[in-house]
Amino acid sequence: MKVKTHKVAAKRIKVTAGGKLIRRHQGSRHLRLKKSKRRIRRFHEPAFIGKEFKRNIKRLLKR
């Protein structure tokens, strides 16, 4: 049987050249009026996935 990539994970998670996993921040799409300006600004920074999830995510991405 062919090994296939988990497409949803592949669309949401990117792997850097150094092997780090980057994702978007949660909660950044709507209901922004009640969130502070500082919090909204921080949504623009990449969110890194911790090493405790790295093995599972790489299995989904087949790397």
Confidence class for position 2, pLDDT limits 50, 70, 90:
confident
The one-character DSSP state at 38 is: H
18-42 per-position pLDDT tens digit: 999 999 999 999 999 999 999 999 9
The CATH number given to whatever domain includes residue 27 is: 4.10.410.60
> CA-CA distance, 12 to 23, in Å (whole number)?
6
> Is position 56 within any domain?
yes
DSSP-based three-state secondary structure for 61:
helix
Q: What is the mean pLDDT of residues 3-27?
A: 93
* Domain extent for 57: 7-61
Q: Which residues contact 46 (CB under 8 A, 6 or more apart)?
A: 22, 23, 24
Q: CB–CB of 45/22 below 8 Å?
A: no
**How many independent structural domains does the chain possess?**
1
